[in-house]
């Protein structure tokens, strides 16, 4: 019996994550310094963990509303208003999700019909295109380049828009490039969305990790609030990846549609994580500031290191990734990553794992100690010198 | 420059070159600032935190509550000085509340610490009483958890 034949065609059509294979090799090796980790090296601040423990002591072990605890939704809307002056009704316009990943899946499933097209700038987070495909849509990739600091422009998007285009999916600060979009950049995109009557899904999970200037929430732009689904969460800013908690905010209709799917598939986000998230929003700001300044130190250190090595490297302005070009080595991204791992035991992620336009680049995460960064840079420098010989 | 001092407080082995990159300042400026802070005794001293228990070297620490009679014009300072000059004294604070001075004393043995308290500390003029608390276990010192069990559990590579 060939069970593989029984798998749904949509699922079969999706390529496995490019990171997976690499992980298997790296996980087996000893003494590896990893710049391949897409999550903070900090542990969730103690007061947040403690609030969850306290919640368990008090017996908070039940389901919550499908939307999530009202107190959490209120804290979310308060923080969005404080940070970006954008207003949402906590009762109807917020959905607490199992990370941004679930939020993205829900948004796509709630909005896409067969053949609807979604504009997806690349390189991008690994699940974007697959989520579109799984929801029955068609991802249309838009390559970005280091020359334009991995940003998108309305002019460029115009070339890809068709009558079937329904959604523009953006993620800034960006994983894997570390790119950000300024308010002016985003205003151009907003005008484009308005012109073509598009819905914008904005993944802003790295919003608080912005080092140059301030982050602009897409829905805070004039006329964009109801047209946008903002996805955000606690994983990166509060070092809460394993808690799996995020949220979506948008107009009443979109949130209701997403909640309909959520109630049948997920029911609710674990109450333990929701309690911790309330504490994060109420008293976590100081921790965020500390972590952001640490990432910023490391960002400068690693950027300087790659520049000293003579690699073409765009200066990342957000998230905790740097995306140097390795084209001058003559190797493909995958060859570079594999050979570096074997020769010097440094793990990073080949750029093509994030889409075709990531080829020729590698993603390095600086969510690791300065000691590790310094040692990794030394090893990478040695590796490149040996290639050039 | 608060950031520089915070970086140094966390890890003083970082070179001026590395600090300059991290703080986005010229290396000359960072080196000059460090020198200035050292000269002005803003940076008092660089020290190392050692887990002596792990090193297999026994010592005894006691925290002693000391009540004293303040003296005219100098208040608590003169007696404090007579106490902190002893090399056995690791730290000394003037406290509010039920006693005046908190003295941390380290010695090689219980007897050594006890001798210090009975023959040196309690005999100082102006010392009214002492209450000695021997330290049983050190969990956290100078902001550092001594036996930090929060290991890294992250996957080697993740998206």
What is the DSSP secondary-structure string of B63-109? Answer: EEEEEE--BTTTBTHHHHHHHHTSTTEEEEEE-SSS-SEEEEEEESS
Residue B41 has pLDDT above 70, yes or no: yes
pLDDT bracket for residue B73 (50, 70, 90): confident
C-alpha dihedral, B50 to B52 to B53 to B57, nearest 10° = 160
Non-local (6+) Cβ contacts of A134 within 8 A are A10, A11, A14, A105, A108, A109
- Whether residues A158 and A14 share a domain: the answer is no
% residues pLDDT > 90 (chain A): 93
Confidence band of B151 (pLDDT split at 50, 70, 90):
confident
Partner residue opposite A23 with nearest CB, options B14, B24, B155: B155
ipTM of predicted assembly, 2 dp? 0.84
pLDDT tens digits along A216-233: 999 999 999 999 999 999
Of A32, A11, A13, nearest to A23 (Cα)? A32
Which residues in chain B touch residue A19, judged by CB atoms under 8 angstroms apart? 157-159
Q: Are residues A300 and A338 in the same domain?
A: yes
Mean pLDDT of B88-116: 96
Give yes or no: residues A39 and A72 share one domain. no
B158 touches chain A (CB under 8 A): yes
DSSP state of A325: B
Same domain, A210 and A305: no
Q: Which of A253, A283, A313 is the last residue of a domain?
A: A283
Cis amide bond preceding A222, omega within 30: no
- In the prediction, which pLDDT does A74 show? 98
Closest partner residue to B158 among A39, A297, A304, by Cβ?
A: A39
Do both A22 and A103 map to the same domain? no
Closest of A215, A282, A206, A218 to residue A249, by C-alpha: A218
Give the predicted TM-score (pTM) of the model.
0.93
| Inter-CA distances, A364 with A169, A208, A241, A322, Å | 23, 19, 18, 5
Are B157 and A300 inside 8 Å of each other by CB?
Answer: no
A308 contact B CB<8A: no
Number of other residues whose CB lies within 10 A of the CB of residue A239: 23
Domain membership flag for residue A54:
no
* Domain boundary, last residue among A250, A265, A283: A283
Domain count, chain A: 2
Q: Which of A37, A206, A241, A302 to mutate to test the interface with B (most CBs of B within 10 A)?
A: A37
Instruction: Assess whether pLDDT exceeds 90 at residue A178.
Output: yes
Lowest mean pLDDT among A248-252, A309-313, B148-152: B148-152
The closest CB to that of B155, out of A37, A353, A374, belongs to: A37
DSSP A255-294: HHHHHHHHHHHT-S--HHHHHHHHHHHHH-HHHHHHHHHH
Flag whether A13 is in a domain. Answer: yes
Q: Does A293 touch chain B (CB under 8 A)?
A: yes
Question: For A296, which residue in chain B has the nearest alpha carbon?
Answer: B22
Cβ–Cβ < 8 Å for A71, A274 = no
Note whether A74 and A89 are same-domain residues.
yes
Tell me which residue range forms the domain holding A349.
Answer: 3-44+286-388
A348-A349-A352 Cα angle (round to 5): 150
pLDDT at A15: 83
Examine the domain organization and report whether A227 and A305 are in the same domain: no
Residue A184 vs residue A10, higher pLDDT: A184
Which CATH number fits the domain that encloses residue A34? 3.90.1150.10
Report A:41-80 residues touching B (Cβ under 8 A): 41, 43
**Confidence grade of residue A18 (pLDDT, cut at 50, 70, 90):** low
Q: Do A199 and A187 share a structural domain?
A: yes
- For residues A364 and A337, give the distance between their C-alpha atoms in angstroms, rounded to a whole number: 10
Question: Last residue of some domain: A244, A268, A283?
Answer: A283
Q: Which CATH number is A102's domain given?
A: 3.40.640.10
pLDDT of amino acid B88 = 94
Query: What whole-number distance in Å separates Cα of residue A317 and Cα of residue A307?
Result: 15
Q: Report the range out of A294-303, B5-14, B42-51 with the highest average pLDDT.
A: A294-303
Q: Which fold has domain B60-137?
A: Alpha-Beta Plaits (3.30.70)
Does residue B148 register a pLDDT over 80?
Answer: no
A267 and A119, same structural domain?
Answer: yes
Chain B nearest C-alpha distance from A259 (Å): 26
Residues A263, A300, single domain; the answer is no
**For A233-237, A336-340, B141-145, which range has the lowest pLDDT when averaged over its residues?**
B141-145
The pLDDT score that the predictor gives to residue A211 is 97
Mean pLDDT score of chain A: 96
Chain B nearest-CA residue for A40: B154
pLDDT in tens, A21-70: 777 888 888 899 999 999 999 999 999 999 999 999 999 999 999 999 99
């Amino acid at each position: 019996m060939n069970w593989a034949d029984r798998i749904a065609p949509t699922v079969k059509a999706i390529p496995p994550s490019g990171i997976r294979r690499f992980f298997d090799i790296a996980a087996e090796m000893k003494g590896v310094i990893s710049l391949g980790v897409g999550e903070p090296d900090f542990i969730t601040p103690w007061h947040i963990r403690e609030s969850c423990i306290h919640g368990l002591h008090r017996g908070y072990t039940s389901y919550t509303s499908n939307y999530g605890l009202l107190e959490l939704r209120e804290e979310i809307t308060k923080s969005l208003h404080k940070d970006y002056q954008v207003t949402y009704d906590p009762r109807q316009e917020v959905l607490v999700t199992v990370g941004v990943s679930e939020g993205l899946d829900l948004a796509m499933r709630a909005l896409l019909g067969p053949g609807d097209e979604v504009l997806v700038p690349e390189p991008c987070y690994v699940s974007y295109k697959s989520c579109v495909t799984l929801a029955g849509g068609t991802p249309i990739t838009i390559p970005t380049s280091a020359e334009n600091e991995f940003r998108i422009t309305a002019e460029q998007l115009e070339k890809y828009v068709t009558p079937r285009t329904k959604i523009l999916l953006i993620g800034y600060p960006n994983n894997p490039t570390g790119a950000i979009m300024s308010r002016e950049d985003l205003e151009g995109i907003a005008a484009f969305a308005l012109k073509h009557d598009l819905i914008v899904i904005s993944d802003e999970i790295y919003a608080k990790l912005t080092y140059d200037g301030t982050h602009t929430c897409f829905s805070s732009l004039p006329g964009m609030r109801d047209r946008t689904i903002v996805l955000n969460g606690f994983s990166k800013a509060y070092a809460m990846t394993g808690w799996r908690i995020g949220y979506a905010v948008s107009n009443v209709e979109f949130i209701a549609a997403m909640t309909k799917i959520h109630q049948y598939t997920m029911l609710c986000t674990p109450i333990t994580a929701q309690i911790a998230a309330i504490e994060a929003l109420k008293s976590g700001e100081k921790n965020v500031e500390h972590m952001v300044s640490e990432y910023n130190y490391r960002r400068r250190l690693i950027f300087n290191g790659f520049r000293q090595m003579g690699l073409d490297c765009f200066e990342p302005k957000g998230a905790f990734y740097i995306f140097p070009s390795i084209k001058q080595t003559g190797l493909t991204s995958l060859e570079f990553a594999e050979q570096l791992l074997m020769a010097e035991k440094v793990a990073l992620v080949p750029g093509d794992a994030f889409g075709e336009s990531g080829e020729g680049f590698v993603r390095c995460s600086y969510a690791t100690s300065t000691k590790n960064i310094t040692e990794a840079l030394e090893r990478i420098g040695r590796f490149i010198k040996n290639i050039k010989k | 420059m608060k950031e520089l001092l915070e970086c140094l407080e966390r890890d003083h082995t970082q070179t001026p070159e590395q600090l300059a990159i991290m703080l986005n300042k010229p290396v000359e400026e960072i080196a000059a600032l460090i020198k200035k802070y050292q000269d002005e005794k803003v940076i008092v001293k660089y020290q190392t935190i050692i887990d002596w228990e792990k090193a297999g070297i026994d010592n005894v620490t006691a925290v002693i509550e000391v009540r004293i009679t303040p003296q005219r014009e100098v208040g608590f300072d003169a007696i404090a000085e007579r106490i902190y000059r002893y090399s056995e004294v690791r730290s000394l604070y003037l406290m509010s509340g039920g006693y005046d001075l908190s003295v941390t004393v380290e010695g090689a043995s219980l007897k050594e610490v006890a001798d210090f308290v009975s023959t040196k500390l309690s005999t100082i003029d102006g010392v009214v009483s002492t209450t000695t608390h021997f330290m049983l276990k050190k969990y956290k010192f100078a902001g550092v958890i001594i036996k930090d069990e929060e290991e890294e559990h992250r996957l080697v590579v993740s998206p």
